[in-house]
Amino acid sequence: MKVFSTHAVLVALLLLARASQSFAESPDQVAIMAAMHVMFDENNAELVISPVVVEGDFAIADWIQGGAGGRAFLRKDADKWALVLCSGDAIRSAAALASVGVPVDAARRLALAIAAAEKGIPTDRLKKFASFQGMVPMDARSQH
């Protein structure tokens, strides 16, 4: 039986902790995913939400459910995340984000963040995110 020094074990644990932090979700990301699951979970179709990017009080969450997919645009009001609209590729640009009320600088950062988060995602998943047509309002006044 191999015996490891206390130092080696501590170094290994530290490296594991750092690696797991890179995959950890922020409280806002967790809240966004929870809100979306409450709204859209179905017994026969798993809702997969990833990635989720947050810029201040605005966020984009990519989702797939069954054969469909898209991107959700959310806004934080009074510490609660609300789904504003669903879209496909149209919501990825800074101009589109600004057109739905995101301040220009935040819109640029959010557009860059979703582009960076989607790097390395398999093409078939990206095609599902892009497949949602138009920009469909999802607020309390909308039919959804």
- Nearest residue to 58 (alpha-carbon basis) of 125, 16, 113, 6: 113
pLDDT at position 83, please?
Answer: 96
What pTM, to 2 d.p., does this model score? Answer: 0.80
**H helices, E strands: number in the chain:** 5, 5
Helix H segments across the chain? 6-21, 27-40, 94-99, 104-118, 123-130
pLDDT at position 52, please?
Answer: 98
Contact between 73 and 87 (Cβ < 8 Å):
yes
Whole-number Cα distances in Å, 35 to 29, 55, 62, 115: 10, 17, 14, 23
Average pLDDT, the chain: 84
Other residues' Cβ atoms within 10 Å of the Cβ of residue 67: 8
pLDDT tens digit sequence for 9-63: 333 333 333 333 334 689 999 999 999 999 999 888 899 999 999 999 999 999 9
- Nearest residue to 46 (alpha-carbon basis) of 55, 37, 54: 37
Burial of 94 (0-12, 13-18, 19+ CB in 10 A): middle
Q: What is the mean pLDDT of residues 75-99?
A: 95
